[in-house]
Each structure stands twice: as C-alpha cells, then as structure tokens.
Chains A and B, each alone.
Chain A
Amino acid sequence: MFDKAKAKVEARREAHRVPPALDAEQAASEAHERDKGLTKHHFEPHEHPCVRIEHLMKTFDGETQVLTDVNLTVWPGEVVCVLGPSGSGKSTMLRCINLLETPTAGHILIEDKEITGHLVTKEVNKLRQNLGMVFQSFNLFPNLTAKGNVMIGQTKVLKKSKAEAEAEALKQLDAVGLLDRADFKPAQLSGGQQQRVAIARAVAMHPDILLFDEPTSALDPELVRGVLDVMRDLAENGGMTMIVVTHEMGFAREVADRVVFMEGGVVVEQGTPEMVFDNPQNPRTAQFLGSIG
C-alpha cells in the first residue's frame, strides 16, 4: 500500500522535475530575447523573470483539459493583462500560479524557484504570502470588519503586533479610499467597496506579485471605475508586478505593459496593448476583440 503511494509521489515529482535545459541564466536570456519586443517593460541588464510558466498543463478529473500548453514569462514590475473568451483557461492559469489549482504537468517558477509538484504545505503557505490574490467574488471574511479583513493576514501569518497591523490596515484602506469604512462589515459595503477592501487586504501582505482574477466581473458597471482606479494606482505608482485576468479592454490598453490573449488553453498571442488591440495577428484574437468592441 505504502509502496504504491510512494511510487505515485515519485511519478508526480518526475513529471515536474526541471530539466537541466531550464538553467535559470540561460532561460532568462532566452525569455528576454523572446519578450523583448512584446512588452513596454524596461528590462534591466541580466534581469530574471519573476514568474516563468513552462508547458503548463491542467486537466480536471483526468478528462477536461483546461490548459494545454501555456508558456508565459512575467518580469518584475510588469503589468500583464490576460484576455480571452470564457473557458480559455485564464483563471485556471492564474490559480495555478499560487497553487489554488495543482498543475497536472509543466513547470511554474517563481523567482527561479520551481513551485510545481514537490512543495510541502509549509512551503506552499510561504509561497502564497508572496502572491497576493484578488478574487472575482471578493471573498472577504464576512465576520470581520473591513479593517479586520486587512489585519488578519498580518497578525496571523506575518505575526505582526496588533497595533502594527492596524496601522498598516488603515494605511492600505486609506490608499483604496475606504478609511471611513474601516469599521464596516463586508455586508454593509457595496460590491466595489468590498473589492477595494480585498485589494487592500492583498496589498497589506506586501507580496511581490499581485494576481487579479476578473476583479470587476461581479460588479455593477458604475462600481467598476473605483476598483480600476485603485488598480491603476497600484500599477503606476506602486510598481507592483501584476497579472490581471480581465475583460476590461480600456484598462488593459491603458495600464498593461503587455496583453496576453488566451484561447483553448494556450497563449495564442501576446504583445504590447497597441500591438494586440490595433493590429492583432491571430484571427481568433481579432474576432474576440471585434466582438467585444
């Protein structure tokens, strides 16, 4: 019985083992070469990407293949917007990055460290501290106030003192324009306010990378702007690395360093917003952008 389980673990590790070819230095320069013209990001000399996704594959229940072969590199401070029709695997890819979904095959490297396949719970928790996530459905803790939501990660995970965490929470709530709502429960806030609290909660952990999973899709149209303003502020003034899965074309065009178009579980096109929006190379991209307008 144990032999079988051991073999299973071994097989899984094998599937995710970084091949020697994935030498960090070499991979970085290759990726650099590849992405050079596709992003507005200003490359530093010898810069290493902070997220490297190689041949990522994900199947659910062994049959539904959501991600076929995703390859993507994200550089420090870069804002990447991921577009694509629903079911194209955008969210799944994002959730794979902080291991909310376990990749079936392929590699994800965060700051040149392989995260797929062989991490124990402790390492996963450590990794997630470094990856802030904002959800489509906000997922605020309804039993805590806005301030409590922003504080809890700091006090429980980062083991900060209460006063320290509170100061940080108020600072972050102020940054998203909700200082006056600090003592409100999520149910007493509008959707847009809730999402802004969720962003403050993620930012308060001071992660290196922020992941946004359709942050405005669940909002009424008139509430979207407030959230996008906060995100734009983070991108432009915070210098934060952001991967944003979104349907907001205006935001993508304005804020993104690079736009990635996904379809059928693969990245079909990527480039600067101007390249993708004004002169899409892939017919599927053109069709999608045309339909959205």
Chain B
Amino acid sequence: MHAGSSNRLKRLVAAFAALLVALVLVPSQAQALTTEKATARPNEDGGSGVIGGIPTRLTWEGVVEDGESITSVTLTLPNGASFDNSTTKVTVLDNLTRIPNDATATPSGNTIAVKLSDPAKAGYKLRLEIEDMTFPSEGGDVVVNGSYESAGKTQELAPSKPIATIANTWLQQMVSFLDAQPWVQAWNSNQFLGMFLKPQLILTSLFSLFPGWLVCLGIVVVAYPFAILLGLVFALMKLSKFRVVRAIAVVYINVLRGTPLFLQIYIMFFGLPMMNINIDNNVLGVIVMAINSSAYLAEIFRAGIESIPTGQYEAAASLGMGRLMTMVNIILPQTVRRVIPTVTSDFIMAFKDTSLLSSVGVMELMMFSKNLTSVTGNMTPYVTAAIFYLIVTLPLIKVVTIIEKRIARSERGGGPRPKAKVADAKQDDEQTPAEPEGAEATLASALSAPFRAGTSVFGGVADVR
C-alpha cells in the first residue's frame, strides 16, 4: 500500500520532469519551416466531413523562416493513410507573387517527398496541394508530421494542427460502392431522379434523419395522452350547464382552433423566454402540441358525446342514475367507440404538425432534412423525410379504416355471436335480424352505419378539423 503510493509519486515526479524538459527544449529548437495550414477537402456525400479511406485533397502550407533555404519537404501521415496515386501541385509564393519552381513529388505509402528545383528562400510560402490522397479509414484526428531539408541538413517539422476525419463506415463504403455503379450514374444523370431520388442520399438520409424521426414520434406520443385528458376536460366543460364554465371552454377551444399552430409555436417559444421562463425545446414542443391538439380533441369529444341520442340519457335517468354516473357509465363508453377513428385522424395530423417545430429549432425530422438539403443542394433528404412521415401515417390511415369497418359491423349486429347458453331455448316467433355483409362495407356505409340497426340513427362523428 505504502510502497504503491510512493511508486506513483515517483512516476508523477518523472512525468513532471519530462514535461519541464519538453517545455524548455521545444522553443529552443529553431523552426526554419513553420507549418501554417494543413487542411483536407470534405469528401462526405451530403456533409462537411472528411472521411478516411476515400480520396480527398490535402492542402499543406508552410512559411520559410529567416536564414534558411528549403530544398525539399517530406510529409508523413499516420499508418493507413496513402499518398499512392496522388498528384501534387506545388506552389511557391513570395507574398502574392508566384515564384516559378519545377518541383517533383514522390509519393510512397504514407509519406510524400517533394523536391524543389530552386531552394525556397526566407519569407517564401510553400503550398502543397495533394490530390487523390486518402486518410486512414478508421478516422480520428490526423496530424501531419514530416521533415525538411535546409542547406543539406534534415530537420523535423513541427506537427500540424490535427485534421478531424470520419471513420469510413460500412455506410460510407455503401455510398462509395453506389458512386461507382454505372446504373447509379445513369439514374442520377436524369435531372428529376438525381435531384429527388438520389440513391446515395436516400441511403445516408435514412440514417441521418432517423434521430429526427424519433424526436417527432416522441413529442407526439408524449403530448397526446395529455391532449386527450385536456380535451375531455374541455369537452365536458363545453357541455356544462354553467354558463361561465361553458364560456371558458368555448374561448379556449375557439382561440386555439382559430389561430395557426405556427403562431402558437412562435408565441410559446419566443414569449416564454422573454418572461425568463426557460423550458427545454423538446418539452416545450410537447406542451404546445398537447395544448393545440386538446382543442381539436375537445371538439371531437363534444361532437361524440352529443351524437349519443337523448334516449340514452333518458334511459339512464329512468334507472335513477345521476348526471355524472350517466356520463361515466353510459355516455363516455359509447363515445369512445365512436371517436376512435376521428381521434386517430387527429393523431395523424398532430404527428405531421410536429414539422412546424423545426421553425423554432426543435431538432426533429423536418429540421434534419432541411439541414441536409441545404448542405447537399439536393431534394432527396426531403423525399426521405416524406418516407419517414409515411411510415407512421400510412398504417394509421389503414387502422382508421379497419376500426371504422369494425364499429360499423358490430353496431349493425354482424359481429360474431356468442353461443346461446340454453340449448333448448324456447322457440321464438321473432327472428334476429340477418347478418349484414358488414365485412366488405364501403367507407361511406361504414361512416353512416354506427347505430343504424339500433334505436337511433345517428351517423359517426364528423372530422372537425
């Protein structure tokens, strides 16, 4: 224990000493060639990153210090990088004047040696543009090292600032693969296909838009239960017998339904911070969506409740049920069945409306695709965003249709019948109605069918949006 800690102390002291030596030594080493710049051109399709393993251009600039004359420069990159097959353009500048120079570049693996025909004098700037070189495929920060020859002496170059590179993932390899395919090139040469349905961009957008899609779903899925609760409260308030309560509900519903969601978003996102109320963007998005949807849901629920025939209230009343008991036990259960299709439609609306949140910087699907499109100048990310929206909405649209059919069928008595309990039931002179062909009901008949066979001929609830 004791020995261990003293060991560590020794190591610390050693490290400190090494640091001191380094600090003293480094400035004393006179640099004759200072690296000014080392950058790489982005080669990410639809991005600004530098990807390893894919050809790009490395630009390196150095300035010759006083009393030196440089005859050759050698640049070295970490293992995995390659200068093979690269072509190098060498420029020697005296301020803004170009000094003619016949330079030769000899690439070999991860090093490249550049020999100048005339030595570069003090104050000259040396620029190397190495085309078609590749960085290591594993990515990471890459530092350019090297050496130079000045008056016959070889000296080390100070390391450059690191260049951030991205690993060459399987996705990048797929993109490179697609880039090389003749059919892709042919496809993209069509102006429409290349602009809206570029295969490489579809592939990359699918991955880069995914987080935005999750945010959209998250916002609406979290917001909706609150919206349903709020909506039910305001629906019941609107049906209240007290005028003041009714008025509050009417104002709430009409203001929210009568103004654009876009405006509501602006008011909330810019208004609250001005009152020094700072809420996380996503949370605020949930709040805005919940409040907005609640107004529409309130109207849907109100219409649903009002579509229940008076006879139901009277029947409940004649059993001695109070208002609340009737609402909870008789009216609401029937309302729920009736409003499910409309509520689902509203959910679809709300999900699509999350796109408006992009205008205030919520990082959702629309925001991601907008960014990607502005970087690539291609419409494909928008088309991919459309695909993401459709993944959610199309099945829901189908679900609405199925539920509507099912409700229509069950209310008309076409559903599966429970088995009769008493086998020797006494013969009825009444016949139960024949089973309708409910399964193949059209949308129109499905909408008109609820409660058709029953006592009341009330249609479904109209979509109030």
A125 lies within 8 A of chain B by Cβ: yes
Cross-chain contact A142 with B430 (CB below 8 angstroms): no
Chain A window 196-215, contacts with chain B (Cβ cutoff 8 Å), 1 for yes, 0 for no: 00100110010000000000
Cross-chain contact A139 with B317 (CB below 8 angstroms): no
Cross-chain contact B319 with A201 (CB below 8 angstroms): yes
- Identify 19 new A-B residue pairs, CB closer than 8 A, beyond the known A125-B322, A157-B319: A98-B317, A98-B318, A100-B314, A125-B321, A126-B320, A128-B317, A128-B319, A137-B311, A152-B329, A157-B321, A177-B426, A183-B421, A184-B432, A187-B412, A190-B430, A194-B455, A202-B318, A205-B319, A222-B429
> In the complex, A202→B314 CA distance in Å?
13
> In the complex, A41→B455 CA distance in Å?
35
> In the complex, A269→B355 CA distance in Å?
73
> In the complex, A187→B421 CA distance in Å?
18
CB nearest to B418 among chain A residues: A183
Nearest 9 CB-CB pairings of A with B:
A129-B320, A180-B425, A153-B319, A139-B315, A133-B318, A139-B311, A187-B413, A137-B455, A183-B418
B422 lies within 8 A of chain A by Cβ: yes
CB nearest to A189 among chain B residues: B432
Contact of A179 with B421 at beta-carbon distance under 8 Å, contacts A137-B456, A225-B429 already known: yes
Cross-chain contact A184 with B454 (CB below 8 angstroms): no
- CB contacts (< 8 Å) of A89 on chain B: these are none
Provide a sorted-by-A list of 10 A–B residue pairs whose CB atoms are within 8 angstroms: A122-B322, A125-B317, A128-B318, A141-B312, A143-B337, A157-B319, A179-B422, A188-B415, A188-B417, A189-B413
B431 lies within 8 A of chain A by Cβ: yes
Contact of A180 with B430 at beta-carbon distance under 8 Å, contacts A135-B314, A140-B315 already known: no
Contact of A185 with B410 at beta-carbon distance under 8 Å, contacts A156-B321, A222-B429 already known: yes
Cross-chain contact A192 with B430 (CB below 8 angstroms): yes
Cross-chain contact B455 with A184 (CB below 8 angstroms): no
CB nearest to A137 among chain B residues: B455
- CB contacts (< 8 Å) of A135 on chain B: these are 311, 314-315, 318
- CB contacts (< 8 Å) of A139 on chain B: these are 309, 311-312, 314-315, 455
Contact of A193 with B430 at beta-carbon distance under 8 Å, contacts A180-B425, A183-B418, A187-B413 already known: yes
Shortest CB-to-CB span from A266 to chain B, Å, is: 25
Cross-chain contact A121 with B315 (CB below 8 angstroms): no
CB nearest to B435 among chain A residues: A188
Shortest CB-to-CB span from B252 to chain A, Å, is: 24
> In the complex, A205→B316 CA distance in Å?
12
Cross-chain contact B333 with A143 (CB below 8 angstroms): yes
Chain B window 319-351, contacts with chain A (Cβ cutoff 8 Å), 1 for yes, 0 for no: 111110100011001100100000000000000
> In the complex, A137→B320 CA distance in Å?
19
Range of interface residues on B (Cβ < 8 Å): 35 or more
Shortest CB-to-CB span from A26 to chain B, Å, is: 31
Cross-chain contact B428 with A142 (CB below 8 angstroms): no
B14 lies within 8 A of chain A by Cβ: no
CB nearest to A196 among chain B residues: B430
A268 lies within 8 A of chain B by Cβ: no
Cross-chain contact A157 with B421 (CB below 8 angstroms): no
Chain A window 88-127, contacts with chain B (Cβ cutoff 8 Å), 1 for yes, 0 for no: 0000000000101000000000000000000001100110
- CB contacts (< 8 Å) of B426 on chain A: these are 177
Cross-chain contact B320 with A153 (CB below 8 angstroms): yes
> In the complex, A192→B415 CA distance in Å?
20
Q: Which of B273-306 contact A (CB under 8 A)?
A: none
CB nearest to A190 among chain B residues: B430
B152 lies within 8 A of chain A by Cβ: no
Contact of A187 with B410 at beta-carbon distance under 8 Å, contacts A139-B455, A157-B320 already known: yes
Chain B window 421-465, contacts with chain A (Cβ cutoff 8 Å), 1 for yes, 0 for no: 110011011111100000000000000000101111000000000
A132 lies within 8 A of chain B by Cβ: yes
- CB contacts (< 8 Å) of A157 on chain B: these are 319-321, 325
Q: Which of B312, B422, B428, B432 has the most CB of A within 10 A?
A: B428
CB nearest to A98 among chain B residues: B318
B96 lies within 8 A of chain A by Cβ: no
CB nearest to A128 among chain B residues: B320
- CB contacts (< 8 Å) of A265 on chain B: these are none
A186 lies within 8 A of chain B by Cβ: yes
B420 lies within 8 A of chain A by Cβ: yes
Cross-chain contact B454 with A121 (CB below 8 angstroms): no
Contact of B315 among A126, A141, A190 (CB under 8 A): A141
- CB contacts (< 8 Å) of A143 on chain B: these are 333-334, 337
B68 lies within 8 A of chain A by Cβ: no
- CB contacts (< 8 Å) of A193 on chain B: these are 428, 430, 432
> In the complex, A192→B429 CA distance in Å?
10
Q: Which of B309, B319, B325 has the most CB of A within 10 A?
A: B319
CB nearest to B431 among chain A residues: A190
Cross-chain contact B329 with A156 (CB below 8 angstroms): yes
- CB contacts (< 8 Å) of A131 on chain B: these are 318
Cross-chain contact A222 with B430 (CB below 8 angstroms): yes
B129 lies within 8 A of chain A by Cβ: no
B65 lies within 8 A of chain A by Cβ: no
Shortest CB-to-CB span from B119 to chain A, Å, is: 96
> In the complex, A207→B309 CA distance in Å?
25
- CB contacts (< 8 Å) of B321 on chain A: these are 125, 153, 156-157
Contact of A187 among B312, B333, B453 (CB under 8 A): B453
Contact of A190 among B318, B323, B333, B433 (CB under 8 A): B433
Cross-chain contact A190 with B455 (CB below 8 angstroms): no
Contact of A141 among B334, B415, B425 (CB under 8 A): B334
B411 lies within 8 A of chain A by Cβ: yes
> In the complex, A98→B318 CA distance in Å?
7
Cross-chain contact A180 with B421 (CB below 8 angstroms): yes
> In the complex, A263→B334 CA distance in Å?
39
- CB contacts (< 8 Å) of B337 on chain A: these are 143
- CB contacts (< 8 Å) of B314 on chain A: these are 100, 133, 135, 139
Q: Which of A46-77 contact B (CB under 8 A)?
A: none
- CB contacts (< 8 Å) of A180 on chain B: these are 420-422, 425
- CB contacts (< 8 Å) of A190 on chain B: these are 430-433
Cross-chain contact A142 with B432 (CB below 8 angstroms): no
> In the complex, A153→B330 CA distance in Å?
11
A85 lies within 8 A of chain B by Cβ: no
A138 lies within 8 A of chain B by Cβ: yes
> In the complex, A128→B330 CA distance in Å?
17
Cross-chain contact A226 with B320 (CB below 8 angstroms): no
> In the complex, A194→B455 CA distance in Å?
10
A223 lies within 8 A of chain B by Cβ: yes
Contact of A121 among B318, B323, B415 (CB under 8 A): B323
CB nearest to B314 among chain A residues: A100
- CB contacts (< 8 Å) of A181 on chain B: these are 420
Shortest CB-to-CB span from B318 to chain A, Å, is: 4
Contact of A142 among B317, B329, B411, B429 (CB under 8 A): B411
Contact of B320 among A185, A192, A205, A223 (CB under 8 A): A205
